[in-house]
Each structure stands twice: as C-alpha cells, then as structure tokens.
Amino acid sequence: MTMPYYVAPEQVMKDRAEYAQKGIARGRSLVATTYDQGIAIVADNPSRSLHKISEIYDRIAFAGVGKYNEFDQLRVSGIRHADTKGYAYSREDVEARSLANLYAQYLGQVFTHEMKPLEVEILVAELGTGLRPPQLYHIAYEGTITDEDRYAVLGGETETIAQRLDQLWSAEWPLPDALRSAVGALAGPDRTLGGSDLEVAVLAEGNGRRAFRRLVDDELDALLG
Amino acid sequence: MTLPLFSTTDDPGPDFTGLIRRLEVPSPTMMPTGSALFGSNGAGGNSFRHGTTVVALRFADGVVMAGDRRATEGHAIAHRAMQKVFPADRYSAVAIAGAAGPAVEMVRLFQTQLEHYEKVEGVVLSLEGKANQLSQMVREHLPMAMQGLAVVPLFAGYDLARGTGRIFTYDVTGGHYEETEYNATGSGGRDARTTVKLGYRDGLVRDEAVELAIQALYEAADEDSATGGPDLIRGIYPLVATVTAEGFLSIQDDEVAERFSTLIDRRRSEGRQL
C-alpha cells in the first residue's frame, strides 16, 4: 500500500489559486463604472446570446468573467435568491450586500473544500438611492469580497486595465464619456473595440422599476461615437 | 438564507412556482385544503373579501382593460379603492375577480413568475406561454375554489410576434379560452359584457375603446350591488389601462374622471334618470 504524500496546506491553496487565476486570465475582461445616472458595465464579449452581464433584480445587476457555465450557475442562483426574497418579504428588502455575501461564502467554501475551485470572478452592482451611493461588489474566485464606489475591473490583466481607467475616471461623468473611457481601458493602446465586440448594459434611473437595460446596435454605436 | 443552488439533474429551471415549492416558501399553491370551510357558496355572508367586475376589449392598437374598485365582505363594503387591474409584465395585464386575498396573491406570484422566467432564460415568454402559466396557477387553486374561494382572472396583452392585442378568459378549473373581441368577469360581468357588446365593432380607436370600457363599468355598477361606480365624493375612479406596442399604460385618474363626468352630463341632458 502506498501512503499519500504529505502536501503542505499552503501549497494546496497556492496551487488552487494558481489554477483559478489561470482559468480566469484566459477569458476576456470586464469593466464597471459609475456615472451621473447610474452604473455602466462593459464587457469584451462579441457574443450576442451568451451574456456576461445580466439583470438580477430591480436595481441589481450581475456580471461574471471566467468559465461561462460556472458563473452562469451563480447568476441563476442570484436571481432565484432575489426573486424568492422579494416574493416572501418585499421588493425593497432585496439588496446587493446580502447577495454579495452569499456569493462570497459559496466561493470561499468551494475554494477551501472542493477539489477544483471555481474559475470565476463576479460583480454584483447596485444602483444607489438617495441615502446610499451606488455600490460595486467585486468577488474573487476564493471568496474575497471588495466594495468599490467608483469602478471595478474583472478578468485577466486587471491591473493594467485599472491603471488606464484610473487616469481617465472622473466622478459624475456622463454616459458617453464613461463608455468611451471604459472601452479604451479594456482595449488598450494596441487594439480598438467596436460596438459589435462589446456587451454593454446600464443600471440607470429613468428606466422605471427595473433599472437594468442593455445597450445594443445603433444606440450603443451612437454613444461610443 | 443560503444561495439556492441545485444539482443539474434536479434544477427547477425558470419555473418560479416550482422553485418556491422546493424552498418551502409559503405561496397560494400551499394553502391548506380540507373540509369545506366556507360552504359551497362563497359569496354569502362569509368574512372574506370579494372583488367584482373587470372587463377587457380589443381595439385597433391593442387591448383596454378596466376594473371597478369595490371589495365586498358579504353584503358590506370592505374596501373602496381596491386594485383589480395589474400589469403582469411590460406587455400584458391581468385583472381579477373572486376571493380578493388569494386573487391578489395569485397576481403577485404570476408577476414574479413572468419576470423570473425572463431573467433566467434571457427571453420573454410568448403571450400564449404567459396565458398558459396563469392557467396552471388557476388550476392549482381549484381545491380552494371548490371551497368557495374561487379566483377568476382575465388576461390580456399585446402579442409582439403577431402585432395584435389578445384576450384570454379563465374558469375555475384553469381552462383558458381566447376571446376574439371582448369579455368581462365578476358579479357585474354580465352587465358589463352586454354594454360592450352593444357598442363594439372591429377596429375601435383608443378613445372609443376606453369610453366603452367606462360605460360598461358604469352600467355594471348600476345593476350590481357588489360593483362600485365612480366615487365622486372621495374621488375614487375605476382603473383603466391599455396594453399596446408601447406596453402597459395606466390611464390617468383625471382622464377617467373626465370621461365619467361627460357620461353623466350626457345622460342628464338626454333627460334620462342616469
């Protein structure tokens, strides 16, 4: 009988993190930023039907990068959580913070207890109200959760993209500026991204109860100038 | 609360009713059933609320839906400003008659179901699909209906694929039937239906259709004690909405009030006893 080799827990965690990071870095990145009317989310995603950004609830949106089947399962469970909560209590009791915590708990648990960590990084965005500013919860593959009130970058090369965006970013900027800068930051100096290479959605005031709206085709092209 | 995750072989899919049953969230489909708690005639002197007349008719651009505001408890008026016409989603409306509690709850479940499907699947259900969903909810409610707590909805919407308004009526068994022109349900439904019948023709414009719906409710309130007319003293008027290619649109109270007062003035000038 062969004895299993002893592997130090540090090594196990390091290997898992490396594995997850590699998986995430293989995919394309995504940027979310606040602007004067709400939150804009821009993903480098040429697909028209396999979405990275979607609606969770009246004022909450979800975005994911990495392995599609894994973040899509998280997206659906988020919708289930929000709809169930809104149905059992009231629509106003559904908030992003508790959902982001649930995601963090789950990702953390999978990372420490399962063989394979989830190769995803997700974002839960919530439109602000009169009392609260807009909130971007960024949750990493191992369950680390950070909240941003300016912008968030998910995927590979996040540092470079964040640096580029940081130089351009300004508070309360209008949507066309926000989109152009976000797209510029995603693309970098060596390539250009047009409307057909992008998936763009906003959470904005003025869309009625459901604040989530996709920007497509002519409307998007006009905004990108 | 934990994240509602299911294994791939056990996934409820886009079905919200199935999901809450799985999660054991109380819903109308989980109401206690058993002995005939309320007797066979629910409308009698029982102490639960009852909603009454709602009407829907097609016109050139879509459908008009209207409902009075009265809820009764036996022979007493229980509520004067009840909402019976609801948006089901952007392009459809649902109106209710029958036991008010379960009816309003059914609407809430139906609204959530449609939105849930849309978000999970990324596409909107077809109008036919929505009508079928409501049918299943009414059917699941049948045991309660047998005990006197019947809910009879009216569903109407704009079919984006066909470019036309469509109306569906239901019975307590969950059967749903498409109406080509108009229909009404509730205790004053018969009077409302007759009124619409006399004024209906193909291709009515929006104003004519709204006018006809208002007349129908006026006549229903005139003949049926459980149907509320325009409450001029409190300023409570029936709810009227249209569903067209632009979506669900509630008609402002001012316009409804104006139309009722024109109707009353006209009757008076004709020397009729209103």
Is-catalytic flag, B164?
no
Distances (CA, A) of A207 to A52, A58, A214: 21, 10, 11
Residue type, A152: A
β-strand pairing of B239-244 with B62-67: antiparallel
Q: For residue range A155-178, what is the model confidence (pLDDT) as tens digits?
A: 988 999 999 999 999 999 999 999
Average pLDDT over residues B167-171: 95
What's the predicted TM-score (pTM) here?
0.92
Q: For residue range A175-208, what is the model confidence (pLDDT) as tens digits?
A: 999 999 999 999 989 989 999 999 999 999 888 8
If you search the block for the tokens 């909405």, which residue do you land on?
A: B241
Q: Which residues contact B33 (CB under 8 A, 6 or more apart)?
A: B143, B144, B147
In the structure, what pLDDT confidence band is assigned to residue A131 with cuts at 50, 70 and 90? Answer: confident
Burial class (CB in 10 A: 0-12, 13-18, 19+), A196: exposed
Q: For residue range B228-238, what is the model confidence (pLDDT) as tens digits?
A: 999 999 999 99
For the cut 60, the answer to whether the pLDDT of residue B38 exceeds it is no
Cβ distance of A76 and B20 shorter than 8 Å: no
pLDDT at B32: 58
Distance from CA of B26 to the nearest CA of A (A): 8
Chain B hits for A79, Cβ within 8 Å: 116, 119-120
Range A9-224 classified under CATH 3.40.1160.10: no
Cβ distance of A84 and B115 shorter than 8 Å: no
Average pLDDT over residues B127-152: 93
Cβ density class B12-24: b for 16+ within 10 Å, e for less: bebbbbebbebee
How many other C-beta atoms can be found within 10 angstroms of the C-beta atom of residue B153? 26
Helix (H) or strand (E) holding B210: helix B206-223
What are the phi and psi torsion angles at B15 (to 5°)?
-90, 105
Give the DSSP per-residue string, B109-166. Answer: HHHHHHHHHHHHHSSPPPHHHHHHHHHHHHHHTHHHHHTT--EEEEEEEEETTTTEEE
Dist CA B56 CA B127 (whole Å): 16
Catalytic residue among B2, B8, B9, B52: B52
Taking CA–CA distances from B108, the nearest residue in chain A reads A87
Average pLDDT over residues A129-144: 91
Q: Which residues contact B261 (CB under 8 A, 6 or more apart)?
A: none
Return the C-alpha torsion angle B129, B130, B135, B140, nearest 10. Answer: 110
> How many A/B residue pairs have CB atoms within 8 Å?
55
pLDDT at A181: 95
Q: For residue range B7-34, what is the model confidence (pLDDT) as tens digits?
A: 888 899 999 999 999 988 887 666 655 5
If you search the block for the tokens 């940081």, which residue do you land on?
A: A166
In the structure, what pLDDT confidence band is assigned to residue A118 with cuts at 50, 70 and 90? Answer: very high
Contacts of B166-171 spanning 24+ positions with Cβ under 8 A: B166/B58, B166/B63, B166/B127, B167/B56, B167/B57, B167/B58, B167/B63, B168/B131, B168/B134, B170/B134, B170/B135, B170/B138, B171/B138
Measured CB to CB, residues of chain B less than 8 Å from chain A are 1-5, 16, 19-20, 23, 25-27, 108-109, 112, 115-116, 119-120, 122
Q: In chain A, what are the domain boundaries?
A: 9-224
**Whether the Cβ atoms of residue B23 and residue B150 lie closer than 8 Å to each other:** no
Q: Is B88 helix (H, G, I), strand (E, B) or coil?
A: strand
Dist CA B134 CA A124 (whole Å): 32
Cβ distance of B19 and A102 shorter than 8 Å: no
Chain B hits for A77, Cβ within 8 Å: 3-5
Cβ distance of A83 and B16 shorter than 8 Å: yes
Please tell me what DSSP assigns to residue B181: S
Q: How far apart are the first and last CA of chain B?
A: 58
Q: For residue range A84-97, what is the model confidence (pLDDT) as tens digits?
A: 999 999 999 999 99
Q: Which residues contact B201 (CB under 8 A, 6 or more apart)?
A: none
Chain A hits for B115, Cβ within 8 Å: 83, 210
Q: Which residues contact A209 (CB under 8 A, 6 or more apart)?
A: A58
Residue type, B131: A
Chain A hits for B4, Cβ within 8 Å: 77, 80-81, 84
Measured CB to CB, residues of chain A less than 8 Å from chain B are 49, 51, 54-56, 73-74, 76-81, 83-88, 98, 102-103, 105-106, 210
How many other C-beta atoms can be found within 10 angstroms of the C-beta atom of residue A194? 12
Dist CA B137 CA B176 (whole Å): 11
List strand residue ranges (DSSP E) for chain B, in order.
Answer: 50-51, 54-59, 62-67, 71-73, 76-79, 85-89, 92-99, 151-159, 164-170, 176-179, 182-185, 239-244, 247-250
Q: In chain B, what are the domain boundaries?
A: 50-268
Distances (CA, A) of B250 to A83, A175, B218: 25, 30, 19
Measured in whole angstroms, how far is the alpha carbon of residue B241 from the centre of its chain?
11
pLDDT at A129: 84
Dist CA A36 CA A179 (whole Å): 12
pLDDT at A106: 96
Helices (H), chain A: 9-26, 68-88, 96-113, 158-168, 175-187, 217-224
Taking CA–CA distances from B26, the nearest residue in chain A reads A88
Percent of chain B, pLDDT > 90? 79
- The CATH architecture of the domain made up of B50-268 is 4-Layer Sandwich (3.60)
Please tell me what DSSP assigns to residue B30: G
**Of B137, B153, B159, whose CA–CA distance to B92 is shortest?**
B159
